Structure 1
Amino acid sequence: MMSENQTVKLTKRDKETVFWRYTVITNSLFNYASMEAPSLVYALSPALRKIYKDDDDYKASLKNQYKYFNTTPIMAESLVGASLAMEEKDGIKALEPVQSLKTSLMGPFAGIGDSVFNVMMNTIIGSITGSLALSGNLIAPPLIGFVWAMIMLFAVKRPLFWGGYNSGVAIVEKFGDQLSRLTNAASVLGVTVVGSLVPTVIKIQTGLVMKTGKVSTNVQTDMLDKIMPSLLPVLATYIIYKLLDSKKWTPTKCIFLVIVFALVCSYFGILTVPK
């Protein structure tokens, strides 16, 4: 039976351990069901063990952290720090706010991190080192790569982690008596972000054409798009969510279902490739 958590003060070394464990292991512990959650659990587990002396509380926290989590690893550092601070400060009562915070921010953070670091900055550094390598300079490319890695580690990742940690403390101190409201607000934001991704990420289009005499009606452009644009992606998302809500369906089964359904419908012309 879970008990109210007693306030535990983590040492700087405890927090540094979380930072280094997550930085080193990110994406090495990865699966398609919960994405980066195993890395998150691995990083936080020693600190959470100190926070939660009760085994049931500790298990509940690990289970909460093991829920789906996927964002740019660089930006994730801030969410790791914030999660740690909130659980350190408020214990078992912080589990729901922690999950809501991660759900609401991992999407926007992924958009920022992927565009800035994975695309723009890596392209710039890659172009510089590539041009130097083509000119016959064998020392500069690995040296630049090492310097860039150190900059990312100590000037980007580390400040993001500690910034997230300090923000997490501030959230609990400022909204400690209103965590339920904060949770609801973060949940609404998370649902809004996920909902906005449906029509932009999921592309489904039917190729069915209805003919009445000499009149042809394209089901997609003449009917569905005029009733509700992106209706098919919304229906597909709803069906997958309902399947995942059932214990009989796993993410892997849903993936195979989508593949088989897409192949069959494409073969018979029910679905077409979106233009």
Structure 2
Amino acid sequence: MDTGNEKKISKKTLNKSFNLWFWGALTCFSQEHMQTFGYLASMLPIIKELYPNKEEQQKNIHAYTAFFNTNPMLGSVIIGTTASMEEARANGKGIDGETINDMRAGLMGPIAGIGDSLIDGTLIPILLGLALGMSQKGSPIGAIFYIVVWDLIAYFGQRFLYFRGYKLGDKAVSILIGKQGKAIRHAISIIGGMVVGGVLASWVNVTTSLQLKDSTGKVFLNLQKQLDSIFPGLLTVIVTLLCWWLMAKKHVSAIWTMIILIVVALLGVLVGFFNPGLKY
């Protein structure tokens, strides 16, 4: 592992780390942790090799217990990059756990947005289209084609990105710890916020069905239309800020936040503020 006094991750350990990510990226997946445990498992061989002392292992592995979620395929480049950064940290090159966390948190959002659109929204539909064309008249060739081709692309694509991230990590280290690094991390965090904001605007839509009627049954106040005339999407923003406040300021877990939202939704339906449109 060592070259002189410098610690170096062996190829065997890098292969083990990658395979743990490839096969276990979604290990113990939950809404609260997402890919945290898969990411943690992939870093264990690296931590064990770089830090023979048990106390150092426990101290340095803590950096990988934070929430993590990204596109599993393109996300392998983050794992490779952090492997390189961990190697630099072990050699005393000015990297600490906070720097690793900042880089990871800044990259996982943009890579998730790019990966989901490129892989899930483009590559997979293309492969499925080809497979469906081969499956006419009940032929199994289409299914076999999709399984084989997708597995090969997924494995070797992720492997390439992992080792590319590791190889370029040394160059990234010198940037990450300087003034340019702060600016880059800030820019990445902004891009990540934009991606999350775009997902929010596309997938979250909170509206109210509350209406006030006069004695003749005519609606004289439609609350949703009034809100839209003042601030379109206001309720969506309020719910989003509520979730952020609960998790970021009050340190409420994601699971309890979802439970709170369910309770609010049920109460809203009971009092007529929300209408799920269900018929019994």
What interval of TM-score do these two structures reach, taking the shorter chain for normalisation? 0.7 to 0.9
The CA distance in 1 between the partners of 2:264 and 2:236, in whole Å, is 14
Q: Deviations over 1:197-218 (max 9, x none)?
A: 3333321112233579988343
SS at 1:103 equivalent = helix
SS at 1:111 equivalent = helix
Task: Return the structure number with greater relative CO, CA threshold 8 A, min gap 6.
Answer: 1
Find out whether 1:216 has 2:190 as its counterpart: no
CA gap 1:215/1:273 in 2 versus in 1, 3 angstroms: closer
Superposition pairs of residues 106-185 of structure 1, within 5 angstroms: 106-138=108-140, 141-143=143-145, 145-154=147-156, 156-178=157-179, 179-185=181-187
Q: Deviations over 1:223-262 (max 9, x none)?
A: x334433322222222223323435x43222212211211
Q: TM-score, normalised by structure 1?
A: 0.81
Does structure 2 retain, via aligned residues, the 8 Å contact 1:37–1:70?
yes
CA gap 1:201/1:94 in 2 versus in 1, 3 angstroms: farther
Amino acid of the structure 2 residue aligned with 1:243 = L
The Cα of 1:192 is off from its aligned counterpart by 4.1
Find out whether 1:47 has 2:46 as its counterpart: yes
Amino acid of the structure 2 residue aligned with 1:253 = W
CA gap 1:217/1:57 in 2 versus in 1, 3 angstroms: farther
The Cα of 1:44 is off from its aligned counterpart by 0.8
* Structure 2 counterpart of 1:267: 270
Does structure 1 retain, via aligned residues, the 8 Å contact 2:60–2:97?
yes
The Cα of 1:21 is off from its aligned counterpart by 1.2
User: Structure 2, unaligned stretches of length 5 or more?
Assistant: none
Does structure 1 retain, via aligned residues, the 8 Å contact 2:213–2:221?
yes
The CA distance in 2 between the partners of 1:228 and 1:170, in whole Å, is 46
The Cα of 1:140 is off from its aligned counterpart by 6.2
CA gap 1:147/1:240 in 2 versus in 1, 3 angstroms: closer
Q: Deviations over 1:92-119 (max 9, x none)?
A: 8342232223323323322322233224
Superposition pairs of residues 29-48 of structure 1, within 5 angstroms: 29-48=28-47
Q: Deviations over 1:169-219 (max 9, x none)?
A: 221123433344544444444344434433333211122335799883433
CA gap 1:264/1:168 in 2 versus in 1, 3 angstroms: same
The CA distance in 2 between the partners of 1:142 and 1:185, in whole Å, is 43
The Cα of 1:133 is off from its aligned counterpart by 3.5
Does structure 2 retain, via aligned residues, the 8 Å contact 1:207–1:270?
yes
Q: Deviations over 1:109-143 (max 9, x none)?
A: 22322233224322332333344344354456425
Superposition pairs of residues 186-201 of structure 1, within 5 angstroms: 186-201=188-203
CA RMSD of superposed structures (Å)? 3.1
Find out whether 1:253 has 2:256 as its counterpart: yes
Q: TM-score, normalised by structure 2?
A: 0.80
Does structure 1 retain, via aligned residues, the 8 Å contact 2:35–2:67?
yes
Is the deviation greater in 104-113 or in 40-49?
Answer: 104-113
CA gap 1:136/1:23 in 2 versus in 1, 3 angstroms: same
The CA distance in 2 between the partners of 1:140 and 1:215, in whole Å, is 56
SS at 1:46 equivalent = helix
CA gap 1:210/1:59 in 2 versus in 1, 3 angstroms: farther
The CA distance in 2 between the partners of 1:111 and 1:83, in whole Å, is 20
User: Structure 1, unaligned stretches of length 5 or more?
Assistant: 1-5
Does structure 1 retain, via aligned residues, the 8 Å contact 2:68–2:105?
yes
